[in-house]
Structure 1
């Protein structure tokens, strides 16, 4: 049976994936579907493919629809209210950390190795803040064999990061100068660009899901230590600092509180089922 509630989950993930610095994988954690998401991607070529597709199809439709519908609005908000958008996602991400800590059962399960993984993951993602300026290239509007290959590998890179909590696929696209082309292709439905980009994204998701499935099966609590570190490190990357206008800082505080409340509400809805 198709899980239609994944439509709204996918829309939230799709909206977050457009914003550089925000990870769709983190939002999957907020929604309580991260492990199921990894399992479903990894299971599309198994005998239970129908069950996994029933989970993934509405999720994928929601992601694509939100990215197309909201690309312009998110880009506009990110251009004129960047701090407020980032504080909103800061609240969403901060709000899920207590849930992750509880799921990890760190008091009973964590030892020295877990804390080392946690610290390394936090430092790794936090270090990306030093590269936050990224590349400021304009969008590609004409395509040839070279740009098709570039789009394919950009999609692969973005999706491999996107599936990891704390690491933003959009942010990596920004670093390699492909983010303007990515948003242009989605907003304008440029099929020439979307096909190689989509193939790269699909391949990246499949390969990374297999790696993560192996880690969850063999090193469950170590993987949770890693994920918690990735999520906490992302707070450093997303934090935009404060502005000179006090009213805009008030709006940022409101956005942060709203993000916390949404994360709490989603947690109550998703995790009681």
Structure 2
């Protein structure tokens, strides 16, 4: 039976995937569906493929619709009110950490190795704040064989990151100069660019989901330590700093609180 509730979950994941620095995987954690999301992608190739597609199809529709319909709004917000938008996501991300800690039962299950993994993961993601994030660049509008290959590899890289909590696929596209092309292709439905991007994204999701499924099955609590570290580290990347205008800073704090409340509410319902 189709899980229609996944439409709104997909909308939230898709909206977050547009924002450089924010991961759709993190939102999946907020929503309490991360492990099931990984299992469903792997389950497409098993005898229970119908059940897993019933989970994935509405989720995928929500993600794609959000990325298409909200790309313009998100980009407008990033251009006009970047701090307030990032504080909203900062609240969402920070709000999921208590639920992750509770789910991992860290007080009883974590040892020195787990905390080392957590710290290293946080440092790895946090270090991305020192990388140049200048989004300047023009979208590619003329296509050829080399561009198709580049789009395919970009989609693979972005989706491999997208599925990891705390690691932003849009951020990686920004680093390699492909974010303007990615955003333009989705917003304007440039089919010539979307096909190789989509193929790369699909393959990246399949490969990375298999890696994560193996880690969950063999190293469950170590994997949760890794995820918590990735989420904690992403707070550093997403935090935009404060502005000189005190009124705008007040609005930023309000949006931070809204994000925390949304995460808390979703956590209560979903977890």
TM-score w.r.t. length of structure 1: 0.98
Give the superposed CA RMSD.
Answer: 0.7
Q: How does 1:252-263 map to 2 (within 5 A)?
A: 252-263=252-263
2:212 corresponds in structure 1 to 212
Task: Give the direction of change, closer, same or farther, for the CA distance of 1:14–1:126 in structure 2 (3 Å limit).
Answer: same
User: How many equivalent pairs are there?
Assistant: 271
User: Which sits farther off after the overlay, 152-161 or 262-271?
Assistant: 262-271
Could you tell me how far apart the structure 1 residues matched to 2:57 and 2:104 are?
29
Shift of 1:136: 2.1
1:178 corresponds in structure 2 to 178
Shift of 1:108: 0.8
Could you tell me how far apart the structure 2 residues matched to 1:90 and 1:100 are?
16
Q: How does 1:11-26 map to 2 (within 5 A)?
A: 11-26=11-26
Alpha-carbon displacement from aligned partner over 1:196-250 (angstroms, at most 9, x marks no partner):
0000000000000000000000000000000000000000000000000001101
Contact 1:135 1:176 (C-alpha < 8 Å) held by counterparts: no
Could you tell me how far apart the structure 2 residues matched to 1:42 and 1:104 are?
23
2:75 corresponds in structure 1 to 75
2:143 corresponds in structure 1 to 143
2:167 corresponds in structure 1 to 167
Shift of 1:132: 4.3
1:244 corresponds in structure 2 to 244
1:6 corresponds in structure 2 to 6
Shift of 1:172: 0.2
Could you tell me how far apart the structure 2 residues matched to 1:132 and 1:161 are?
18
Alpha-carbon displacement from aligned partner over 1:147-179 (angstroms, at most 9, x marks no partner):
100000000000000000000000000000000
Q: Which runs of 4+ in 1 moved over 3 A?
A: none
Task: Give the direction of change, closer, same or farther, for the CA distance of 1:135–1:69 in structure 2 (3 Å limit).
Answer: closer
Q: How does 1:70-149 map to 2 (within 5 A)?
A: 70-134=70-134, 136-149=136-149
Contact 2:90 2:235 (C-alpha < 8 Å) held by counterparts: yes
Contact 1:134 1:177 (C-alpha < 8 Å) held by counterparts: no
Could you tell me how far apart the structure 2 residues matched to 1:67 and 1:208 are?
21
1:197 corresponds in structure 2 to 197
Could you tell me how far apart the structure 2 residues matched to 1:25 and 1:86 are?
17
1:32 corresponds in structure 2 to 32
Unmatched 5+ stretches in structure 2:
none
Could you tell me how far apart the structure 2 residues matched to 1:259 and 1:56 are?
26
Contact 1:161 1:169 (C-alpha < 8 Å) held by counterparts: yes
Unmatched 5+ stretches in structure 1:
none
